[in-house]
C-alpha cells in the first residue's frame, strides 16, 4: 500500500467503516480521524474508528498522504477549507460523497494546487453515526472513482489500489456520468421512498397505525430507505439537482403511462412490464449485488 498515513474527516457510517476496514485490511497503515461533533469524536475513540482521534481537522491531516472527506455532500467545501493550510505536499485528497460534479468543483476551489480525486463507494445501510460503521461494508461493493481532467494517473492507480485493498471493486468514470448513473440507481429510489412514506403517514382515510401494521405488503421495504440520514440526502438532492430532475421526469412519464393502463384496464401492458422487471432482479442477484434469499432472508424458515 502506497499510502502510509490516512486522515478520515467525518466519522459516521462511511468514515467509521473506512477506519475499521483499514485496521482490518491494511494493518501497517496509520489512521487519524476527526469529526466536527465532540460527542462523535468521543464515541469514535471508544470504538477505535481511527488510531488517533484529533481535536481539529488540521491536526488530523498534517502528516497524512491521503485525506478522505466523509462529511455530507454540502459540507465538503467548508470541511476542506478548514484543513487546507495544514496539508503536507504531495497529499491526495478524496471523498466518499454520492454526487461528484459539485463536490469536485467545491474541493478544487477550496484546495488550489492540491491533488483532488473524488470517489464514491456505492455501499451503505440506513443507519448513520459513529456506531453504524463496520469493517466489511465495502466487501464486494463497487467504488466509483471520478478523476478530474488532467488528474495524475499514478495517483488514480494508488486510489484504485486502496479501495481494492478494502474489498471493493473499482470502476473509473467521469463525474457527470457518475451523477446520472447514481441518480437512477440511488437518488431517485430514495426520493420516491421518502415521498411515499410521507404520503402514507398523512392520509385521512387510512390511519398511521394501519400503515405500520400492514406494512409487510411491500411498504416496509420503502421505509428502510426512507430512514437514511436526512442531512446527507438533502445535500444529495441539492447537489445532483439536474440529473435527479432529468431521471425524475422520465420516471414520472412512465408512471403516467402506468396510470393510464390502470384507467384503461389494460392488463396486457401491465403484464409485459411486470414480466420484464423480473429479469433485472435476477441479474442483480447473479452479480452478487443482493441477497437471493426470498424476502432478503427475513422469512428464513423456508423448509
> Contacts with a second copy in 165-204 (CB under 8 A)?
171, 177, 180-182, 184-201, 203
Binding a second copy by CB under 8 A: which of 112, 149, 150, 274?
Answer: 274
Nearer to a second copy, 114 or 196 (CB): 196
Q: Which stretch binds a second copy (CB under 8 A): 50-58, 78-86, 102-110, 246-254?
A: 246-254
Question: For 200-225, b where at least 16 C-beta lie within 10 A, e where not — what string?
Answer: beeeeeeeeeebeeeeeeeeeebbeb
Binding a second copy by CB under 8 A: which of 6, 92, 122, 175?
Answer: 122
Strands (E), 147-240: 169-172
Nearer to a second copy, 84 or 247 (CB): 247
CA dist 162 and 157 (Å) reads 9
Strand order in the sheet with 169-172: 119-121, 142-145, 169-172
The yes or no reply on residue 216 touching a second copy (CB under 8 A) is: yes
Phi-psi category of 112—alpha, beta or left, where left has phi over 0 and alpha has psi -120 to 50?
A: beta
Binding a second copy by CB under 8 A: which of 20, 68, 117, 155?
Answer: 20
CA dist 3 and 155 (Å) reads 10
The yes or no reply on residue 153 touching a second copy (CB under 8 A) is: no
The yes or no reply on residue 296 touching a second copy (CB under 8 A) is: yes
The yes or no reply on residue 212 touching a second copy (CB under 8 A) is: yes
Nearer to a second copy, 4 or 259 (CB): 259
Binding a second copy by CB under 8 A: which of 61, 107, 145, 226?
Answer: 226
Q: How many residues does the chain have?
A: 303
CA dist 157 and 274 (Å) reads 42
Task: Tell me the closest approach of the beta carbon of residue 96 to a second copy, in angstroms.
Answer: 12
Binding a second copy by CB under 8 A: which of 52, 108, 127, 174?
Answer: 127
CA dist 186 and 199 (Å) reads 20
Amino acid at each position: 500500500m502506497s499510502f502510509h498515513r490516512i486522515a478520515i474527516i467525518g466519522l459516521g457510517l462511511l468514515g467509521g467503516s473506512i477506519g475499521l476496514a483499514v485496521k482490518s485490511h491494511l494493518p501497517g497503515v496509520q489512521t487519524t480521524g476527526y469529526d466536527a461533533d465532540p460527542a462523535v469524536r468521543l464515541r469514535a475513540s471508544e470504538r477505535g474508528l481511527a488510531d488517533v482521534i484529533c481535536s481539529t481537522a488540521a491536526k488530523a491531516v498534517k502528516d497524512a498522504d491521503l485525506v478522505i472527506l466523509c462529511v455530507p455532500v454540502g459540507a465538503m467545501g467548508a470541511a476542506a477549507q478548514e484543513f487546507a493550510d495544514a496539508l503536507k505536499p504531495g497529499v491526495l485528497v478524496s471523498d466518499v460523497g454520492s454526487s461528484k460534479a459539485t463536490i469536485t468543483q467545491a474541493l478544487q476551489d477550496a484546495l488550489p494546487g492540491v491533488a483532488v480525486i473524488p470517489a464514491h463507494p456505492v455501499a451503505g445501510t440506513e443507519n448513520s453515526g459513529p456506531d453504524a460503521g463496520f469493517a466489511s461494508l465495502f466487501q464486494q461493493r463497487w467504488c466509483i472513482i471520478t478523476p478530474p481532467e488532467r488528474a495524475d494517473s499514478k495517483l488514480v492507480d494508488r486510489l484504485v489500489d486502496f479501495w481494492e485493498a478494502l474489498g471493493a471493486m473499482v470502476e473509473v468514470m467521469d463525474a457527470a456520468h457518475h451523477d446520472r448513473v447514481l441518480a437512477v440507481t440511488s437518488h431517485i429510489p430514495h426520493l420516491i421512498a421518502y415521498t411515499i412514506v410521507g404520503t402514507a403517514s398523512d392520509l385521512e382515510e387510512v390511519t398511521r397505525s394501519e400503515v405500520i401494521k400492514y406494512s409487510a405488503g411491500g411498504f416496509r421495504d420503502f421505509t428502510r430507505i426512507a430512514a437514511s440520514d436526512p442531512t446527507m440526502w438533502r445535500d444529495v438532492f441539492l447537489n445532483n439537482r439536474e440529473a435527479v430532475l432529468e431521471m425524475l421526469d422520465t420516471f414520472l412519464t412512465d408512471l403516467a403511462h402506468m396510470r393510464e393502463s390502470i384507467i384503461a384496464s389494460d392488463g396486457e401492458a401491465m403484464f409485459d412490464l411486470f414480466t420484464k422487471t423480473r429479469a433485472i432482479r435476477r441479474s442483480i442477484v447473479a452479480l452478487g449485488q443482493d441477497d437471493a434469499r426470498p424476502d432478503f432472508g427475513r422469512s428464513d424458515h423456508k423448509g
